């Protein structure tokens, strides 16, 4: 609503979904001894689109690097340790 248009105007804005990563458990044994589940969630994802997410890790071997979000905006993968030390897991979507 403004002085120029007191009745108000509608404005549609496209908002990119925010991605959230959850790794369970958050710590695993090194040298390939354990795996963890990676859950990627996208809020406000359009279920009708082809929603793909790219995963990358600085430490560990991912079961897949490309995930397709389901109708709820979620996708799952696993990560297996490769050596020892802290790593960073990142997700990017279109």
Predicted confidence at residue 48, as pLDDT, reads 62
Predicted confidence at residue 74, as pLDDT, reads 92
φ, ψ of residue 38 in degrees (nearest 5) = -110, 120
Any idea how long the chain is? 94
CA neighbor of 80 nearest in space, from 34, 25, 26:
34
* Predicted confidence (pLDDT) per residue in 28-82, tens digit: 999 999 999 999 998 866 766 778 999 999 999 999 999 999 888 899 999 999 9
Q: What whole-number distance in Å separates Cα of residue 54 and Cα of residue 64?
A: 9
């Amino acid at each position: 609503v403004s002085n120029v248009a007191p009745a108000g105007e509608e404005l549609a804005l496209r908002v990119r979904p925010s991605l959230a990563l959850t790794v369970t458990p958050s710590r695993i044994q090194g040298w390939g001894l354990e795996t963890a589940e990676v859950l990627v969630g996208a809020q406000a994802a359009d279920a009708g689109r082809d929603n793909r997410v790219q995963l990358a890790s600085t430490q560990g071997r991912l079961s897949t690097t490309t995930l397709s979000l389901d109708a709820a905006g979620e996708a799952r993968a696993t990560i297996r340790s490769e050596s020892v030390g802290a790593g960073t897991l990142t997700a990017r979507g279109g």
